[in-house]
Amino acid sequence: MTTTMNHGYDPTFFDEYTCQHNTIDHPTVTDYHDRQMVNSMELGMRFKKKIQTIAHLGLNCRVRLQRVLKTRKNVLISKEQATAHARALVAGYDL
């Protein structure tokens, strides 16, 4: 004759009590992880937006730098041409 001794332990009562206790009084571990996941996703989205903004600004900086360099080049060329013209006038050449 085999008997099992459960010493008054009813697993269904314990599980139901634990679930009710956790959902009413205390947040469960899964709730905490869900909130952490949402927070992580939010931070990820913010980071992605910031990276896109930085990339966009970086592109604008490059374009602006290229324009400035092109303008400087044009100014230097004009200055060189003006200097050459002035030297020619001083030397007595009519252009």
**Where along the chain do its domains lie?**
33-95
Q: Residue 75: its pLDDT value, please?
A: 94
**pLDDT tens-digit series, residues 33-67:** 667 676 777 877 887 887 777 777 767 778 888 88
Q: Is 22 exposed, middle or buried (0-12, 13-18, 19+ CB in 10 A)?
A: middle
- Confidence category of residue 73, pLDDT binned at 50, 70, 90: very high
How far apart are alpha carbons 35 and 73 in whole angstroms? 56
Kindly state the average pLDDT of the residues 79-85: 93
Query: Could you tell me the pTM of the whole model?
Result: 0.37
- In 3D, which of 79, 78, 60, 57 has the Cα closest to residue 68? 60
